Amino acid sequence: MRQFNRLSSGVLAAAILMAVASTGAAQTAAAPEKKVKDQAEFDIYDAATKDVLAKNGTKAIEDLNTWKQKYPDSDFKNDREVMYIQAYELNKQFDKLLDKAKELMAQNLDSLFPDPKDGPRQVLKVLFSATTAILQIPNPTPGQIETARQAAQQLKDYNRKPADVDDAGWNGARTSMTAAAQGALYQIAVAPAIQADANKDCPGGEAAWAKALGDYPDKSAISYRLGVALRCEKKNDAALYEFARAVAVDPTLGGAQSAATVTTFLKNYYTNYHGSADGLDQLEQQAKASPMPPADFHIDTAQAIAEAKEKEFETSHPDIALWMKLKATLTSDQGPQYFESGMKGAQVPELKGTVLESKCRAKELQVAIPLPDATGPLVAEITLKLETPLTGKAESGVITFAGVAEAFASSPFMLTMTIDKKDIKDLKVTPCAAPVTRKKK
């Protein structure tokens, strides 16, 4: 499956720019109550500001460290923390960025930045940077994921309008910010599952994808990935349910795959497992109604169905079932050896078959054992050699018999038994017609 699309920082950045006309470091014009201690602080503040605007993250961090060391209680200490976040972002030090954002978010961001104009801008920089940073870390820690999740949630819900932005501009910005934050929250929700998949941790993937599906039940891509994790664990019933859920909700997996590809995969997987496509439509309807299968959910395997049918057949037709097993053994590669070493000269268990019409006073009977649903002419598979000839002519009909195995041929198949007439039940014999005698001339 195609990798999940990453959140485009440009979407959220554009939204913020709509709401935040000014960018970069904090400016004294926005907060006249703040003052630098002296010219030296102004110079280093100005240098750090220019570093950030010039996108020189390394130099910005050096100047910010100097500023913080020399002026730890600056009026601009909170704004300086935001500048650190910007510098870390420029340097792609996203782990440090999230650590700094976590420190600030542990406090009330709006109280840290009370200015009615510049305050919301500073808060949004923190939330935006933390929200997007997590998407740049290949293997984020649970703590980093949680920091980013809180930032994205706060960004989605943030509604403190800068005093110099009109309502229409702010509402438009909020719409874009909400959409982008929701996208980030989705990526954050699936991040642990993607990590588990990358580590080939199938149980971890199952747990993580199931949790993500609880948060986003209508995302078919999550159902599909959960199905992959379940299949990895050989939990085929549940895997098929999730694949069916994905097809029922959106077989394109959010545009990542061809609908035909995913649908065909489900059908092939289901058919191979179940033995046929019977019940697949009902499964899709059931899966569409709920993201997770019920506790007692089960799909019969093709083997289980075959075994059940075999058991039912053995119960309904024990004699035919016995013959089928015997014939299967004889026609196998080990058949001749089996006959010579374990069957020849031995009494064959009682069987039932259809005797074919014989000649008058026959010494042999031909017997067929057709399957219940067989059509077409009967084919003899057993020859019964009688110890004494018939006194008449055998009629075609069902008989029950038990003889001693004497000979066996595999092609064409024929099992020969010797038998006494008394060991044949239900055999119907009609008298032979009197021989025609010719008058002497």
Alpha-carbon span 404 to 45, nearest angstrom:
109
Tell me the residue type at 36. Answer: V
pLDDT at 4: 32
Bin 286: left if φ > 0, else alpha if -120 < ψ < 50, else beta.
alpha
pLDDT at 433: 79
Which tokens belong to 220? 């078919």
Burial pattern 225-255, b for ≥16 Cβ within 10 A else e, equals bbbbbbbbeebbebbbbbbbbbbbbbbbbbe
Point out the residues of the chain with pLDDT beneath 50: 1-15, 17-31
pLDDT at 303: 86
Triad 211, 214, 218: Cα angle to 5°? 125
pLDDT digits (tens, 9 = 90+) for 53-79: 999 999 999 999 999 999 999 999 999
pLDDT at 29: 39
Tell me the domain boundaries of the chain: 9-198, 202-289, 317-426
pLDDT digits (tens, 9 = 90+) for 82-118: 999 999 999 999 999 999 999 999 999 999 999 999 9
pLDDT at 31: 46
Quickly list DSSP for 170-200. HHHHHHHHHHHHHHHHHHHHHHHHHHHHHTT
Do the domains spanning 9-198 and 317-426 agree at the CATH topology level?
no
Which tokens belong to 201? 């941790």
Element (H, E) at 274: helix 259-274
Alpha-carbon span 267 to 291, nearest angstrom:
19
Give me the CATH topology for the region 9-198: 1.25.40
pLDDT at 302: 86
The domain over range 317-426 is classified in CATH as 2.40.50: yes
Q: Give 367's strand partners.
A: 355, 382
Global pTM? 0.67
3-state secondary structure of 210: helix
pLDDT at 441: 57
Neighbours of 343 (CB within 10 A): 18
pLDDT at 50: 96
